[in-house]
Amino acid sequence: MAIVVGSIIGSGIFSTPSLILQEVGSTGMTLLVWSLGGAISLCGCLSYMELGTMLPRSGGEKEYLDVAFPRPRAMFSYMFCLCGVFISSASGAAADAVVTGAYFLYAANGSSVNADGQISKHAEWMQRLVGLGVVMFCTMAHAVFVRQAIRLQNLLTVLKTVLLLVIVLVGLVGLAGGLRIDSPHSFKNPFHGTVHDASAYSSALFKVFFSYAGYTTLNYSIDELKDPLKNLPRAAIGGLLVTTALYILTNIAYFSVLTPDAIMRSNTAVAGVFFSHAFNETWGHQVVPVFIGLAAFGTVMCSVFTMSRIIFEAAREGFLPWGHTIGQVSRFQSPLYALAITCIICVLYIVVPPPGDAYNFLIDIGGYPTWFFCGLSVVGLLVMRRTHSGLDRPYKTWVVTNLVTIATAVYMCIVPFIKPKTGVGSSDDSSIPYWAAPFSGLLFIAFSCAMWYIRIVRQRGLETSYYARFGYPTKSLV
């Protein structure tokens, strides 16, 4: 359970609450959206537990899609790997790196947000510059100091969990009147200002689901799990429920200390503003934001580690060109070339988006293919109930949980193309158009399909892969 909780808790809960409030407009609706996100994530988790116990082998969606849709050969599993690495994982790591920069700069210079809740271009590029340094440091650490990097990663995982508990405790003290602050009156008329716009809610949910991502972590390494048929559902479901409770309590804590307007103006540094308001300037402005930045830094370390291993395995299986080179292990016992590719992709995601709404863009572009393949995997689960009815299912969930997940996936893939009436992307002079993230995600899904045809069909990548060279049966690779 601790692994699942540590995988789910990232920079999202420290940075997205203000952005979600901007989208939905009110305290009450913000809490409802976080609760709804937890409930939908639970439906997805239950579906993935059935998939994981029915097909108990590492690989996650790659394995499920291959069994559910065997024809065309390896197409969906290939598309998932390419999109998962180059869109979902990379954009998430870049977003976490930007948040790390935001909190380190907040500790050094205070808030960079103006009265309208916007960050100056200079401050945003400084955040990105720090983010670049974070990504490069994490890459170097995992490339050269493998064991030490993993120990640091585990320590930072503990830190971010402790920080979340501290925020909850401070919020409870604030609700009880134990802080020397004026009451923000956030819970008086809690639904005042609620937005009624489907597109705005899809954007808000992308940010909520970004914060809940990670409950499928054990599905990717189920071979290493002791008694997986019993422990996989217990750990994943229990970890998600604990995290959901922590997230809702954390949001209540934010509203118990800050007014809704103050939260919206805080941009991605809401936790820093929270501590600044609750404590004295030195503690709240300088000390705590450093720890929050370190917590986000730990999330980047986890992302770089995981992403490089996926690239490493994908190269060895023949999914990527130059697989024999990318699949090499360096003298430091690390996938050096895979780490270099990871670093380059993350750097591009940090640098390329224009100033303005870059953080929103990074979250939304990563969420689009994630939901596409999540929905497809659960459709595959329903297909396998008919085509593979003889498979043992130690854990079987209700059909309604599958349908909720599929319906959410359809919603998250269609509604983002509708222009929002309020919030990010509603203005014609927005730095990044509202359709840019979903269109980019859809375009890369199409690109991954074309790459499958070139790499797997034309170049016969599976038959010429690193694994095939050493006698692994190609059937096990897809």
pLDDT, tens only, 447-456: 999 999 998 8
251 compared with 469, residue with greater pLDDT: 251
Task: Express each pLDDT in 156-188 by its tens digit.
Answer: 888 888 888 999 999 999 888 888 777 788 888
Q: Which residues, listed in sequence order, are joined to residue 194 by a DSSP beta bridge?
A: none
d(CA 201, CA 23): 7
The confidence score (pLDDT) of residue 439 equals: 93
* Amino acid at residue number 338: A
Which residue intervals of 55-144 are DSSP H helices? Answer: 61-68, 75-83, 90-109, 121-144
Nearest to 172 by CA among 277, 284, 271, 254: 254
Task: Express each pLDDT in 292-317 by its tens digit.
Answer: 888 888 888 888 888 888 888 788 88
Q: How confident is the model at residue 1 (pLDDT cuts 50, 70, 90)?
A: confident
CA dist 141 to 302, 343, 464, Å?
12, 12, 32
474 has pLDDT over 50: no
d(CA 102, CA 184): 25
432 compared with 476, residue with greater pLDDT: 432
User: How many Cβ atoms are within 10 Å of 409's Cβ, its own excluded?
Assistant: 22
Nearest to 378 by CA among 406, 410, 409, 413: 406
Contact, 305 vs 152, CB < 8 A? no
Give the SS3 label for residue 179.
Answer: coil
The confidence score (pLDDT) of residue 355 equals: 64
The confidence score (pLDDT) of residue 477 equals: 34
Contact, 431 vs 355, CB < 8 A? yes
205 has pLDDT over 60: yes
Q: Which residue shows structure tokens 């949910």?
A: 205
Q: pLDDT averaged over the chain? A: 86
* Domains of the chain from N-terminus onward: 2-477 (1.20.1740.10)
Rounded to 5 degrees, φ, ψ at 119 are -95, 140
d(CA 342, CA 336): 10
What's the whole-number mean pLDDT along residues 428-448? Answer: 85
476 has pLDDT over 50: no
Task: Express each pLDDT in 28-75 by its tens digit.
Answer: 999 999 999 999 999 999 999 999 999 988 778 888 998 999 888 889
The confidence score (pLDDT) of residue 478 equals: 32
* Amino acid at residue number 191: F
Q: How confident is the model at residue 425 (pLDDT cuts 50, 70, 90)?
A: low
What's the whole-number mean pLDDT along residues 216-245? Answer: 87
d(CA 422, CA 28): 18
What's the whole-number mean pLDDT along residues 285-297? Answer: 84
DSSP 314-370: HHHTTSSTTHHHHT---TTSS-HHHHHHHHHHHHHHHHSSPSSSHHHHHHHHHHHHH
The confidence score (pLDDT) of residue 348 equals: 93
Q: How confident is the model at residue 413 (pLDDT cuts 50, 70, 90)?
A: very high
466 has pLDDT over 60: no
CA dist 298 to 99, 143, 159, 344, 411, Å?
12, 16, 9, 19, 32
